[in-house]
């Protein structure tokens, strides 16, 4: 269709370089010794400590109980990521649907009630949030880990933007076919939103996956350890009493990238599908 | 904005006789009224004044069922804690909850009268504009290019998006090592141009580091959404545009950009909140948790006073000020900017 | 139905407490190797007896641990034992009722407690005005001066004991091609421990120990200002390197062999052994010979353990048992050797010495010896609320001093003023 100039590739390659060189350096640095990283900084070439590092990170049984393995941390992070992303998509699609496709009393007030939650991140209201969770008896539960994070309007806002740009003819056509609000939502809007769902899933999965402070505050049980806590714990060394195991932190970070990247690759197919479907 | 040259012809207006299920949104007449009350009402019903669906369902109960889960979560996990934060802002209290003194507006007074706080506010505004502009601009540029090329497109996309997946503490650590004042490669880069980069000592050098890392972290986010916005532009529209407008830039400006407007508006607001609120871990890493006289944002100050210093009253007051300011900003954007956004 | 379930749960709970050991929890703020040593010590405690079962929980950094505990306390979910860092000690000690004084806890449990068992520099910091231990000193450190042995040989001089000696030695080190001095965390080294090493008053109300109300910081006095005017002059002459507030930025030149001396923590030597590929040694942090009564011991840094209130007698007895276990010489020496922190009791120090540990690693002894120096009127510690914020103000002003934005006197006048505002705010938290 359009002409592709070499310049386009150049821009993309520069962008990839700017964004990805640090990631490559993380990967390379994970194969070096911590003292070398401490003294020389990041590496662009592989070292010879890679196998040992990755073996240790994957098999080491850490924590007091000895149950904190790489696998358990991975699983907890996955639960956080998937739970948060799915919860967010379901809640926010429904809410956005109500706000865009219905005319009802108090809609404006509801709109602003939901949208003000864009304004204050959890970190700022973290102390009172803890008290609320404790009152509800949700400390040390996955529910308590995931649900409070859902109280933000990013997803709702995004789907509102998308629904508003969906052609009105669709609703008119559906109405002629005799479709009610539920049928229209499930049969028309949800399939239409695939591309958007894929984009928001990626973002929200990584958001949940990367949580640190809230799980730290909320849980006292080592069984809830996530990869992020593992990484932070390695890097947290007091006034140079030891050299932190930078290589292990980088290795964990590289491992921690794999599932989100897998999500990206899987959903990439949906990106493409979304495109071809709107061709019809 | 695109009324004349829009890709789709607008469907004929639906009339009142379209049954009970669907009705028109009535035209608002409030704008002509001059009373304060009416203007106030016009203001808070902004949502209706904005371009919205011409056809909507009109059922009293169903929308509540759809909105209820979100509403419940928001009420319990946002409003309940926030009310407590507002209450705390009028007290100076012992963090463990043993003693407290009601001080009225003193916490607010202490915050806004400090010259330090004003400097921080100014920097936050500057930081916000720069980071938002750069990360939106670069994200859009890359998305447009990635949408355009055919060869290697999946590779570019995967690479660009996957950066977003790097764990924040490690991203921070890498940023710190890149800008390290003794061995950082970026220090060497600046040395080539004769500038001695001293992140952590020099105010603006630290600002450069903060901006670079914040933009770096945010580009993939904008890239994903811009790309998904671009890919939902139907192919016939693109092909029509190709015939209509020869120059790539004009095609982009007249056809693609208007179609991206809803996404761009969403991203603008999200990016502003990102720079305001989500950049404090980056600051914490770069200043090595000792801000000294380096630039910081208002939220970092809240974090410093509240979470690290345990001054619950003072930090609550600062959060409330922040909330009010950002709320005002957001409302303004919805009121004035969204009018220019054309939905389908 | 629900009642039945609740009853079953309640029965199960009482049954389990009657049969099994009493569970207690310990929240700490340590990661890396130190976090592992905490797990090992807890395991040793559980293996040593069977009435109590201790579970250590990592709660991120010191600040995150304290904030978590505050949130938990307000909801009645607090741990039995909490680790609190030096600058945060005033917050938890001021909240009477949040903790049980360590001494009371141990005595109530019928165990012995003797203040004189502890190294003298450790006794005062976490105690009240009467010397009663509120917190249990746990991981302690002292600021000491590390030096590059080859640098001093090359310059043909001896490491300085006083700042006056430093002024004669430093130019020779410079001639020999070295940056004579760098120092990490000037707040800890050049303010807090300047006060302690030179026996200078740091705050009114007996360094803040006697009362919260009306406590004022003392930093814009002649001697304190002199210390920084010297540092600034040294920096201008290339005798002292200032690299901002970050700990590692100021350590790096020493690790690279560029600077001849570095003032850091006694606990840093473990890391230095790995990162410095030259011979280094250490000595006490210098003091001013010209100040009368100077040369006294330093304040301890690090953290202490606090027993939190609102727990059953059985659990408190277990906490007491653990505190006693922790101060036993064997555990102290284990901790000392594995983490680089100094032992807190005389007995533990003697044991490490008799095992020949200091013949092997003489640097490990410097911090302890400095804490055992003669004490003075102002050396037991300081107690100021919102102290983390006061440190932030100091760090800001120090950067300004070294970038020529303010004079030393003006900077300390600002610290004095803003520090006192913060202290006045803190006084309102407890009324």
Of A74-83, A223-232, C162-171, least confident by mean pLDDT is A223-232
pLDDT digits (tens, 9 = 90+) for B284-327: 888 888 888 899 999 899 888 888 888 889 988 998 898 888 88
Domain membership flag for residue A253: yes
**Tens digits of residue pLDDT in B132-175:** 999 999 999 999 888 887 777 778 888 888 888 887 878 888 88
Integer Cα distance of A57 and C15 in angstroms: 40
- The correct CATH number of C144-298+385-429 out of 3.30.365.10, 3.40.190.10, 1.10.3720.10, 1.20.1050.10 is 3.40.190.10
Smallest Cβ–Cβ distance between C255 and the set A39, A213, A216 belongs to: A39
Element (H, E) at C147: strand C143-148
Question: Which residue from C minimizes the CA distance to B115?
Answer: C418
Task: Identify the structural domains of chain B with CATH numbers, from first to last.
Answer: 1-63 (no CATH), 109-340 (1.10.3720.10)
Cα(A201)–Cα(A203) distance, integer angstroms: 6
What is the length of chain B? 344
Q: Check A241 against C251: CB less than 8 A apart.
A: no
ipTM: 0.85
Name the CATH superfamily, with its identifier, for domain C2-141+300-371: Periplasmic binding protein-like II (3.40.190.10)
| Residue for token pair 């996530």 | A226
Q: Indicate yes or no: CB of A90 within 8 angstroms of CB of B148.
A: no
Residue identified by tokens 């821009």 is A11
Give the pLDDT score at B260: 87
pLDDT at C17 over 80: no
Least reliable range by pLDDT among A103-112, B289-298, C307-316 = A103-112
Q: Extract the tokens encoding A61.
A: 């049984």
Q: Cβ distance A131 to B342 under 8 Å?
A: no
Interface test with B, best of C406, C422, C425 (most B CBs within 10 A): C425
Contact C95 B98 (CB under 8 A): yes
CB of C138 within 8 Å of a chain B CB? The answer is: no
pLDDT over threshold 80, residue B6: no
Q: Does the pLDDT value for residue B50 go beyond 90?
A: no
Q: Does B72 touch chain C (CB under 8 A)?
A: no
Of B46, B58, B263, the CB nearest to A103: B58
B138-172 in b/e form (b: 16+ CB < 10 A) is: bbbbbbbbbbbbeeebeebbebbbbbbbbbbbbbb
Spatial distance between the Cα atoms of B338 and B262, rounded to a whole number of angstroms: 8
Assess whether pLDDT exceeds 50 at residue B19: no
pLDDT tier for residue C11 given thresholds of 50, 70 and 90: very low
Residues linked to residue A184 through DSSP beta bridges, in sequence order? none
**In a domain? residue A9:** no
Chain A neighbours (≥3 Cβ pairs under 8 A) are B, C
Q: Is the model's pLDDT at A78 over the cut of 80?
A: yes
Instruction: Tell whether pTM > 0.90.
Output: no
**Residues of chain B positioned with their CB less than 8 A from the CB of C401:** none
Chain B positions touching C386 (Cβ under 8 A) are 309-311
Find the closest chain B residue to A10 by CA distance. B145
How far away is chain A from the Cα of B262, in angstroms, using its nearest Cα?
6
Q: Is C127 helix (H, G, I), strand (E, B) or coil?
A: strand
- pLDDT > 70 fraction of chain A, expressed in percent and rounded: 91
Collect all residues of chain B within an 8 Å Cβ-Cβ radius of residue A44: none
In this structure, are residues A207 and A76 in contact, taking their beta carbons and an 8 Å threshold?
no
Cβ pair B343, B262 in contact under 8 A = yes
Residue A106 pLDDT class (50, 70, 90 cuts): confident
Count up the domains in chain A and report the number.
1
Chain A CB contacts of C248 under 8 Å are 240
Counting residues of chain B whose pLDDT is more than 90, the rounded percentage is 26
Q: Do A38 and C68 touch (CB under 8 A)?
A: no
Considering the domain boundaries, does residue A232 fall inside one?
yes
Q: What is the pLDDT of residues C199-233, one digit of tens each?
A: 999 999 999 999 999 999 999 999 999 999 999 99
SS3 of C407, please?
A: coil
Q: Is residue A3 included in any domain, yes or no?
A: no
Q: Are the C-beta atoms of residues B18 and A78 closer than 8 Å to each other?
A: no
Q: Is residue A44 part of a domain?
A: no
Decide if pLDDT at C14 tops 80. Answer: no
Let me know: does C360 contact C152? Beta carbons within 8 Å: no
Q: Which residue of C has its CA nearest to A127?
A: C71
Q: Which of B89, B90, B95 to mutate to test the interface with C (most CBs of C within 10 A)?
A: B95
For the segment A32-62, what is each residue's pLDDT rounded down to a tens digit?
Answer: 998 888 888 888 889 888 888 888 888 877 7
Cβ atoms of C241 and C235 closer than 8 Å: yes
Task: Specify the higher pLDDT residue, B257 or B234.
Answer: B257
- Cβ contact C70–A213 (<8 Å): no
The pLDDT mean for chain C works out to 92
What per-residue confidence (pLDDT) applies to C2? 46
Transcribe C273-285 into DSSP letters. HHH--S-EEEEEP
Which whole-number Å values give the CA distances from B219 to A201, A266, A270, B299, C224, in the listed order?
17, 21, 21, 21, 48
Please name the residue of chain C whose CA is at the shortest distance from the CA of residue B202.
C403
Residue B17 has pLDDT above 50, yes or no: no
| Ordered strands of the C259-265 beta sheet | C240-241, C179-183, C259-265, C143-148, C280-284
Which pLDDT score is estimated for B246?
66
Domain assignment of residue A165, given as a range:
49-55+62-277
Tell me the nearest-neighbour CA distance from A242 into chain C, angstroms.
Answer: 4
Residue A32 lies in a domain: no
Q: How far is CA B243 from CA A2, B230, B248, C133, C313, in A?
A: 11, 18, 11, 84, 84
Structure tokens at C56: 């250590």
Interface size B-C, in CB pairs within 8 Å, comes to 115
Q: Are A30 and A250 in contact (CB under 8 A)?
A: yes
First to last CA, chain B: 12
For chain C, give every residue range classified as CATH 3.40.190.10.
2-141+300-371, 144-298+385-429
> What value does the mean pLDDT of chain B take?
80
User: Does residue A23 belong to any structural domain of this protein?
Assistant: no
- C59: contact with B, CB 8 A cutoff: no
pLDDT of residue B72: 92
Q: List, as ranges, residues 108-137 from A with C-beta within 8 Å of B.
A: 108-121, 123-129, 131-132, 136
**What are the residues facing B55 on neighbouring strands?**
B24
Does the pLDDT value for residue A173 go beyond 50? yes
Radius of gyration, alpha carbons of chain A: 23
Is the confidence at residue C288, as pLDDT, over 70? yes
Residues C105, C109, C113, C115, Cα dihedral to 10°: 10
Given an 8 Å threshold on Cβ–Cβ distance, is A127 in contact with C57?
A: no
| Alpha-carbon Rg for chain C in angstroms | 23
Picking from C27, C125, C69, the residue whose alpha carbon sits closest to that of residue C387 is C125
The per-residue pLDDT for B277 is 82
Residue whose C-alpha is closest to residue A41's, from B290, B179, B213: B179
Is the model's pLDDT at B231 over the cut of 90?
no
How many other CB atoms are there within 10 angstroms of residue B341's CB atom? Answer: 22
Q: Which of A17-31, A164-178, B125-139, C58-72 has the highest mean pLDDT?
A: B125-139
- Subunits close to B (at least 3 CB pairs below 8 A): A, C
> How many of the other CB atoms lie within 10 Å of CB of B59?
16
- Per-residue pLDDT for A238 more than 70? no
The CATH number for A90's domain is 1.10.3720.10
Name which of A246, C166, C76, C357 is nearest B170 in CA terms: A246
Q: How many CB atoms lie within 10 A of CB A234?
A: 27
Q: Which residues pair with C139 in a beta bridge?
A: C303
CA distance B274 to B287: 19
Residue A5's pLDDT is 73
- Classify residue A29: in a domain, yes or no: no
Helix, strand, or coil (residue C306): strand
Beta bridge partners of C264: C144
Instruction: Mark out the alpha helices in C116-246 (DSSP H runs).
Output: 120-123, 149-155, 163-175, 186, 193-197, 204-207, 222-236
């Amino acid at each position: 269709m359009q002409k592709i100039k070499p310049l386009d590739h150049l821009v993309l390659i520069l962008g990839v370089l700017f964004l990805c060189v640090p990631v490559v350096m993380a990967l390379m640095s994970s194969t070096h010794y911590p003292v070398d990283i401490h003294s020389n900084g990041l590496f662009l070439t592989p070292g010879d400590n890679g196998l040992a590092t990755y073996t240790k990170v994957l098999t080491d049984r850490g924590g007091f109980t000895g149950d904190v393995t790489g696998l358990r941390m991975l699983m907890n992070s996955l639960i956080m990521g998937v739970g948060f992303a799915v919860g967010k998509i379901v809640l926010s699609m429904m809410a956005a649907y109500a706000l865009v496709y219905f005319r009802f009393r108090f809609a404006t007030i509801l709109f602003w009630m939901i949208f003000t939650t864009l304004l204050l991140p959890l970190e700022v209201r973290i102390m009172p949030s803890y008290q609320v969770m404790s009152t509800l008896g949700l400390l040390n539960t996955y529910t308590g880990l995931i649900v409070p994070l859902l109280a933000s309007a990013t997803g709702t806002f995004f789907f509102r933007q998308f629904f508003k740009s969906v052609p009105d003819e669709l609703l008119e056509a559906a109405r002629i076919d005799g479709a009610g609000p539920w049928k229209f939502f499930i049969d028309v809007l949800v399939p239409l939103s695939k591309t958007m769902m894929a984009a928001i899933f990626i973002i929200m999965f990584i958001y949940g996956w990367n949580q640190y402070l809230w799980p730290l505050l909320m849980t006292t049980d080592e069984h809830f350890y996530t990869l992020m806590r593992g990484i932070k714990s390695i890097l947290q060394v007091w006034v140079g009493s030891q050299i932190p195991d930078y290589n292990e932190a980088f290795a964990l970070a590289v491992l921690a990238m794999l599932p989100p990247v897998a999500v990206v690759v899987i959903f990439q197919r949906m990106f493409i599908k979304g495109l071809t479907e709107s061709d019809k | 904005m695109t009324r004349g040259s829009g890709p789709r012809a607008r469907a004929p207006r639906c009339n009142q006789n379209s049954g009970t299920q669907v009705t028109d949104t009535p035209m608002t007449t409030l704008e002509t009224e001059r009373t304060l009350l009416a203007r106030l009402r016009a203001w808070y019903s902004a949502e209706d004044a904005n371009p919205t669906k011409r056809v909507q369902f009109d059922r009293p109960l169903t929308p509540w069922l759809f909105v209820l889960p979100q509403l419940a979560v928001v009420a319990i996990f946002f409003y309940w804690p926030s009310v407590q934060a507002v209450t705390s802002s009028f007290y100076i209290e012992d963090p463990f909850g043993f003693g407290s003194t009601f001080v009225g507006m003193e916490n607010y007074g202490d915050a806004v009268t400090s010259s330090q706080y004003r400097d921080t506010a100014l920097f936050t505004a500057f930081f916000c504009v720069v980071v938002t502009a750069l990360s939106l601009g670069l994200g859009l540029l890359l998305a447009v290019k990635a949408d355009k090329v055919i060869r290697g497109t999946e590779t570019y996309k995967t690479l660009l998006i996957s950066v977003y997946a790097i764990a924040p503490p490690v991203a921070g650590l890498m940023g710190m090592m890149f800008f390290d004042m003794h061995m950082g490669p970026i220090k060497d880069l600046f040395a080539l141009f004769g500038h001695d980069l001293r992140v952590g000592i020099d105010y603006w050098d630290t600002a450069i580091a903060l901006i670079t890392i914040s933009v770096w972290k945010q580009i993939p986010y904008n890239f994903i959404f811009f790309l998904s916005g671009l890919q939902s532009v139907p192919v016939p529209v693109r092909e029509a545009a190709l015939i209509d407008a020869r120059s790539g830039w004009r095609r982009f400006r007249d056809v693609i950009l208007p179609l991206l407007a809803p996404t761009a508006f969403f991203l603008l607001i999200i990016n502003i909140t990102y720079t305001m609120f989500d950049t404090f871990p980056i600051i914490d890493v770069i200043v090595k948790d000792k801000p000294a006289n380096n630039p910081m944002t208002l939220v970092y100050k809240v974090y410093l006073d509240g979470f690290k210093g345990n001054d619950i009253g003072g930090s609550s007051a600062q959060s409330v000020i922040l909330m009010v300011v950002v709320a005002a900003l957001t409302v303004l954007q919805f009121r004035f900017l969204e009018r220019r956004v054309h939905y389908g | 139905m629900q009642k039945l379930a609740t009853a079953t749960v309640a029965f199960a709970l009482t049954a389990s407490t009657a049969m099994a050991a009493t569970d207690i929890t310990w929240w700490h703020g340590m990661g890396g190797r130190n976090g592992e040593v905490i797990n090992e010590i807890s395991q040793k405690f559980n293996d040593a007896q069977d009435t109590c079962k201790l579970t250590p929980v990592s709660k991120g950094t010191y600040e995150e641990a304290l904030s978590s505990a505050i949130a938990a306390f307000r909801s009645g979910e607090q741990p039995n034992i909490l680790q609190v860092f030096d600058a945060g000690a005033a917050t938890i000690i001021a909240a009477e009722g949040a903790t049980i004084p360590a001494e009371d806890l141990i005595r109530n449990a019928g165990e012995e407690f003797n203040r004189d068992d502890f190294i003298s520099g450790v006794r005062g910091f976490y105690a009240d005005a009467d010397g009663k231990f509120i917190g249990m000193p746990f991981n302690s450190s002292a600021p000491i001066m590390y030096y590059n042995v080859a640098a001093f040989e090359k310059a043909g001089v001896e490491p300085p004991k006083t700042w006056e000696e430093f002024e004669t030695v430093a130019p020779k080190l410079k001639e020999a091609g070295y940056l004579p001095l760098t120092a990490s965390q000037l707040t800890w080294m050049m303010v807090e421990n300047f006060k302690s090493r030179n026996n200078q008053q740091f705050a009114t109300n007996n360094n803040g120990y006697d009362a919260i109300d009306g406590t004022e910081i003392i930093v814009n006095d002649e001697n304190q200002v002199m210390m920084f005017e010297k540092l600034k002059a040294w920096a201008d002459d290339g005798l002292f390197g200032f690299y901002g507030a970050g700990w590692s930025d100021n350590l790096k030149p020493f690790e690279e062999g560029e600077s001849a001396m570095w003032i850091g923590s006694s606990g840093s030597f473990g890391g230095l052994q790995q990162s410095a590929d030259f011979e280094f040694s250490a000595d006490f942090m210098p003091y001013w010979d010209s100040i009368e009564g100077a040369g006294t011991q330093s304040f301890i840094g690090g953290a202490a353990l606090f027993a939190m209130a609102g727990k059953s007698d059985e659990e408190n007895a277990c906490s007491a048992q653990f505190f006693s276990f922790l101060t036993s010489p064997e555990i102290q020496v284990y901790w000392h050797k594995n983490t680089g922190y100094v032992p807190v009791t005389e007995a533990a120090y003697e044991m490490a010495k008799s095992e020949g540990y200091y013949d092997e690693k003489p640097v490990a002894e410097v911090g302890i010896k400095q804490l055992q120096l003669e004490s003075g009127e102002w050396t037991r510690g300081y107690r100021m609320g919102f102290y983390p914020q006061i440190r932030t103000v100091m760090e800001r002003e120090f950067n300004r001093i070294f970038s020529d934005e303010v004079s030393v006197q003006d900077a300390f006048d600002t610290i004095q003023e803003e520090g006192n505002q913060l202290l006045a705010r803190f006084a309102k938290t407890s009324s």
